[in-house]
Amino acid sequence: MFCSIIHVVINMKKFALVLEGGALRGVYTAGVLDVLLSNNIYADCVVGVSAGALNGLNYISKQVGRSAKININYCNDSKYIGRKALLKNKGIIGFDYLFGEISNKLVPFDYEEFNKSNQRFVAVATNCITGDSEYFEKNICSDIFLATQASSSMPLASSIVKINGIPYLDGAVSVPVPVKWAIEQGYEKIIVVLTRDMNYKKTNITNKLKFLYSFAYRKYPNLINKLYTMSERYNELKKDIDNMNNIFLIRPQKEVTVSRLEKDKEKLKTLYKQATEQTSLYIPKIKEYLD
């Protein structure tokens, strides 16, 4: 089978990292992870959604600065985000460029380190047929990079990704922050990284967006239902996370003005710096929490 969904439950008190998406707002997550790596803080499991999954790849490969370098240096490259990507990928994100020339030549990905790591890496994608989340794991899934692409394929902006003949899209459609999965897996030490500040609240989708969803995904009624209810479910999950006293929560302290497809390199650099400075201050508390 091409990819397997995880059903095994971990019965050990270990440490999991849970990473929210947010496209280029993920430079915040990149900053957090870089500081953790620089302080030799390694999670037993990393579970990510969308940009969180992309960032997680570089955490497992232990490449400090790689995620930020790609998103800051190539945000204006139309092969990565824009017209050329659209022509080649039928979506605004150039996954062929990211996993091809960028990963193999321009900003090389350390496949050897990634493959030899004993850490669990899990990318969450949304099954377009059922509308449910599916969890794809390194060494269980035969192509974890394709699963990560599926996890990161934003509705309307990216093409559907087929895995074993099954269509998938952005994991955030079904579960924006997979913290409950980490709890169900038995992890008692959980660091959650969000890309929005504590006051952020998603607004309900417009009728125009509902029309676009219903037209683009008319073959997938369960997916449409999840798309229609994303805002409400996100806001409810955020309330739940705010009330969890057994997790360590890291998120921006200021309102994030970086857009999903941000083109302003200075804004991206500022958000990355905010994350590194904030997380550096948290390191003593993080170590205390993990101990």
User: Residue 114: which of 135, 138, 150 has the closest Cα?
Assistant: 138
Q: Which helix (H) or strand (E) holds 26?
A: none
The pLDDT confidence band at residue 11, using thresholds 50, 70 and 90, is very low
Q: Would you say 100 and 106 are in contact if contact means Cβ atoms under 8 Å apart?
A: no
Q: In this structure, what token pair is assigned to residue 137?
A: 């794991």
Nearest to 126 by CA among 233, 262, 248: 233
| Predicted confidence (pLDDT) per residue in 231-274, tens digit | 999 999 999 999 999 999 999 999 999 988 889 999 999 999 99
CA dist 26 and 12 (Å) reads 29
Mean pLDDT of 122-145: 96
Distance CA 129, CA 69 (A): 36
Residue 142's pLDDT band (cuts 50, 70, 90): confident
pLDDT (mean) for 114-141:
97
Count other C-beta atoms under 10 Å from residue 141's C-beta: 25
pLDDT digits (tens, 9 = 90+) for 15-60: 999 999 999 999 999 999 999 999 999 999 999 999 999 999 999 9
Whole-number percent of the chain with pLDDT over 70: 96
DSSP secondary structure of 133-193: EEEEEBTTBS-HHHHHHHHT--TTTS--EEETTEEEEEGGGT-SSTHHHHHHTT-SEEEEE
The reported pLDDT for the residue numbered 64 is: 98
CA angle at 207 for the pair 204 and 209, rounded to the nearest 5°: 80
Give dist(CA 74, CA 90) in Å, integer: 19
Radius of gyration of the chain (CA): 18
With cut-offs at 50, 70 and 90, classify the pLDDT of residue 2: very low
| Residue 10, pLDDT score | 34
pLDDT at position 291: 86
Two tokens, residue 229: 């209810």
Per-residue pLDDT at 1 exceeds 60: no
